[in-house]
Amino acid sequence: MSETMNDYAGLFRLDGKRAALIGAGGIGREAALALAAHGAKVTCLDKDPATARATAAEAGGEAQDLDVTDAAAVEQAAAGLGEVDILVLTAATNVRKRILDYTPAEFDRVVNLNLKATFTVLQAFGRRMVRRGQGSIVVFSSVRGYVVEPGQAVYAATKAGAIQLVKTAAAEFGEQGVRVNAIAPGVVETPLTNQIKANPEWYDAYATKGALGRWAKPAELAGAVVYLASDAATYVTGTTLMVDGGWTAVDGRYTPPT
């Protein structure tokens, strides 16, 4: 890209870029489609082979099985994919329980996927990007990395931890030309939030927490992924982009009578 940055029409184009997307359902599916629409060649990786194949077919890319909690498998996937320009990590899980009710097994399950696997992915893919001297990594965090509620202790801790891992990776990889950023969604209609959607009172309460007064669709996160992956964000690293409908900007929504 030239110093004048005068190719604004192509600022978000990803032609010739190779993208690896880990977690191919829900938000991941939309991210894959958006990356492909902007010219990237996308490889979809997911623990569920059917999910990986379905998203890859829609995005015109390739599919691979990957259990991201298996460090050796992540290393093998990174090595097998070779030169990756863009890495997007959306895989996550949650167990909604209060601290006093959490079991050690549940704690380990959430931490191993949401935090430990994030570290493993940053290590495996980041190492290769640093060697090449280029690349963009996008990790999905959450508003829960900033604000909490009862029953979200472990999930929130892992999402806050992911933000700190992103900041540190940005600091360590930056001089080698690798950018690392996070996206923090608010409430999004995905399988992970089925428990909330099944309860109308709970669903409506979440909808009114943000400034827009509604939930997000997975497709509404895709633009943030493309932005952070593209030349539009060449001077953006170590940041967390809030895509939360104003959730963290307001303390609940109330429209007084006039």
What is the spatial distance between Cα 72 and Cα 117, in angstroms, rounded to a whole number?
11
Query: Which tokens in the block code for residue 217?
Result: 């669709």
- Residue 212 burial (C-beta neighbours within 10 Å; 0-12, 13-18, 19+): middle
Active site includes 155? yes
In order of 134, 151, 195, 204, 207, the CA distances from 200 in angstroms are 46, 18, 10, 6, 10
Torsion of CA 130, 131, 133, 138, to 10 degrees: -30
Query: Which tokens in the block code for residue 53?
Result: 């194949």
- Among 8, 102, 146, 155, the active-site one is 155
- Residue 62 burial (C-beta neighbours within 10 Å; 0-12, 13-18, 19+): middle
Query: Which tokens in the block code for residue 186?
Result: 């608010």
User: DSSP E strands: which ranges in 106-233?
Assistant: 135-140, 178-185
Query: Which tokens in the block code for residue 162?
Result: 């992911």
Q: Is 213 helix (H, G, I), strand (E, B) or coil?
A: coil
Show which residues are catalytic.
155
